[in-house]
Amino acid sequence: MPVREPAAWTWSDKVVVTTLALLGLSLHVWFAAAADALDSDRALVLLMARHFAQGEITLFFWQQNYMGALEPLLLTPLALVGWATPTAAGLVGIAVTASLAALSVALSRRLGAPPWMALLFWAIPPAVVVHHHVALYGARLVATLLATSAFTVSLRARSAGTVVALGALTGLAYFGDHLMLPWAAATMYVMARRGRLLLFAVGALPLVTLDTIAAMMTPAFHLAGPNDPTTWLGNLPLLLGNSLPQLFGILLSRAPGPLFEPATALVPAGWTWLLFTVPGGFVLCALCLSLVRNRRTWFGTHEVDFGIAAQGLVLTCLVGLGLFVLVGGGGDRWPVRYLVPLWPAISVLAALAVARWRPAIRPAAALVALPAVFTLYADRSWPRGTDGDPSRAEALTVARVVDNSGVRAVWADYWDVYRMALLTGESLPWVTLRIIERRPDWAREARSASPVAYLLRRGDVEVRDRIRDAEERSVIRIISTQDVGPYQLVVTDRSVADLALMNSPPSRTWQRTSALAGGLLFGGTLVALGLFTRGSRTSPGLESSIARRL
């Protein structure tokens, strides 16, 4: 089977790639510097790592049985020596992102495409993307690295043991997050075209089966996708009209925050937005058109290290977008994060498109980064630079006031509660008022504690009114009210028993069905790709001979 060797690095390649790498590292460090301005999702990883270091280990994220706890496990060694801090987690995120960028550059060179174009997407991504590149939660960085590594190695895997190991690595990535199915499908496709799908399945299916069984046995309060399937019908317009434009920086994207806060505008006023997004959008469309026009060049051959590799990248994007349409929106107000794992494939495909442009006009492709530059400047909902210092000072002020109040537990909004628990050292239970309660044991302790506090943002009128109503009904007694920066701390003699604002947990039947569906979807993809590629393998009979040797 033909194998294309990467082109030799030219002097200009080295200069451009080095410059972009330094620019990208500087930009990501700038965002990581605001690590203390984190939200509860990012804080959750560090809290779990600290609990792992104390011997409290779980397979999945707290109360979430479709994401394996790989990130907390990765940070556990740091937690053992007291270094599991937001800044350290941000630096680990940068290291994982740099590894993904390096894999993207390597894939581009292997396919004969300009490596600088792939690296450009990593060096200057939109604000929403770069935020998730330094966070060990939203973008599923560890799982994406495992899955992308498996795909890259699968292109040249020769021994039977390596193929089985790749299956296990893909299964581990799927355990890390079920959103890795698009990358798993690409690796399956390569293995099927090489006649090694059975060996791949030997390594992957045991882990996928264990993941499915464990997910079915683990109660969870939050699953990917809504309980009402009719809400899926809105995912296609959500994908095309909102999430994809946000992914490339065409539209702004609001960071996760309290549900009671009004949504910010996605399209800013003024001509500045048009000056950046129109040229950038035009170049993005030109890249897509170039891929379509040159589809036979990139995707029409059966060379494992060329046509099949490019076909696998396209399959990753198609399955990823299809999965989004199926469950990715799921009523989530911030669904663009489900598309960030596709970034390696997107960056390589962009490099493939530029490779067919005339050398004289290739530099114009860099204009595709203009929308990203605009969001880095204008989208202030994503913390960066010196935003971490005020957040840290705010948390310390809250901790001091809470300690002085003498309360036994604190209730707060989801986006505050776990970051406050992390930054204040978990000196007492912090319990969420909305969305999902990840530590039911803390909630049970808070319900029986006295006195308790409610840390409310100024805009949280609903909870404030319910507390006052409970006092008027003599259910509780308000002891004190104190303003603390952007918050108000309301101390009561006990918790309000009927203050229920949480998302309704899915039934155990729905949980088990969803967990089983995930495993069946992985197995069904395996079978479908095997049938699709039957009769068109690059080396017929190779799989049976390897199986005999194994």
**Look-up: residue for tokens 């937001």?**
86
The verdict on residue 5 lying in a domain is: no
Whether residues 270 and 308 fall in one domain: yes
Give the CA distances from residue 545 to residues 153, 161, 170, in Å, rounded to whole numbers and listed in that order: 21, 13, 23
Whether residues 340 and 464 fall in one domain: no
Q: Give the number of C-alpha atoms closer than 13 A to the C-alpha of residue 196, restricted to the C-beta side.
A: 28
Whether residues 426 and 526 fall in one domain: no
Whether residues 368 and 327 fall in one domain: yes
The verdict on residue 140 lying in a domain is: yes
The vertex-116 CA angle with 308 and 169, nearest 5°, equals 45
**Burial class, 431, CB count within 10 angstroms (exposed 0-12 / middle 13-18 / buried 19+):** buried
Whether residues 336 and 445 fall in one domain: no
One digit per residue, the tens of pLDDT, for the chain of length 550 reads: 344 556 667 788 789 999 999 999 999 999 999 988 878 888 999 999 999 999 999 999 998 888 899 999 999 999 999 999 999 999 999 999 999 999 999 999 999 899 999 999 999 999 999 999 999 987 689 999 999 999 999 999 989 999 999 999 999 999 999 989 999 999 999 999 999 999 999 999 999 999 999 999 988 865 544 445 556 677 888 899 889 999 999 999 888 888 788 777 788 777 889 999 999 999 999 999 999 999 988 888 878 878 999 999 999 999 999 988 887 665 677 889 899 999 999 999 999 999 999 999 999 999 999 999 999 988 888 999 889 889 889 988 999 999 999 999 999 999 899 989 998 888 899 999 988 888 889 999 999 999 999 999 988 999 999 999 999 999 999 999 999 989 999 999 999 987 878 777 778 888 888 889 899 999 999 999 999 888 666 553 433 333 333 3
Q: How far apart are alpha carbons 224 and 506 in whole angstroms? A: 11
The verdict on residue 100 lying in a domain is: yes
The verdict on residue 376 lying in a domain is: yes
Give per-residue pLDDT as tens, 278-305.
Answer: 999 999 999 999 999 999 888 888 788 7
Is pTM beyond 0.85? Reply is: yes
CA 387 from centroid of its chain's CA atoms? 22
Whether residues 80 and 224 fall in one domain: yes
**Number of residues written out for the chain:** 550
Q: How far apart are alpha carbons 311 and 128 in whole angstroms? A: 28
Q: How far apart are alpha carbons 481 and 545 in whole angstroms? A: 76
Q: How far apart are alpha carbons 214 and 222 in whole angstroms? A: 15
Q: Which of 118, 107, 113, 110 is nearest to 356 (CA)?
A: 113
Whether residues 456 and 357 fall in one domain: no
Give the 3-state secondary structure of 444-479: HHHHCCCCEEEEEECCCHHHHHHHHHHHHCCCCCEE
Instruction: State which residues form the domain around 489.
Output: 386-502
Number of domains in the chain: 2
Whether residues 254 and 162 fall in one domain: yes
Cα distance from N-terminal residue to C-terminal residue, the chain: 22
> For residue 43, which amino acid is it?
A
Give the CA distances from residue 499 to residues 406, 419, 453, 469, in Å, rounded to whole numbers and listed in that order: 22, 22, 13, 11
Whether residues 464 and 517 fall in one domain: no
Whether residues 246 and 124 fall in one domain: yes
Strand partners, 434: 501
Whether residues 347 and 486 fall in one domain: no
User: What DSSP designation does 359 have?
Assistant: T
CB pairs under 8 A, 24+ apart, for 23-28? Answer: 23/123, 23/124, 24/101, 24/119, 24/122, 24/123, 24/124, 25/94, 25/98, 27/123, 27/124, 27/130, 27/376, 28/94, 28/97, 28/130, 28/133, 28/134
Tokens of 78: 């740091």
Q: How far apart are alpha carbons 313 and 323 in whole angstroms? A: 15
The verdict on residue 507 lying in a domain is: no
Give per-residue pLDDT as tens, 108-151.
Answer: 999 989 999 999 999 999 999 999 999 998 768 999 999 999 99
Strand partners, 502: 435
Percent of the chain with pLDDT over 90: 65
Whether residues 318 and 429 fall in one domain: no
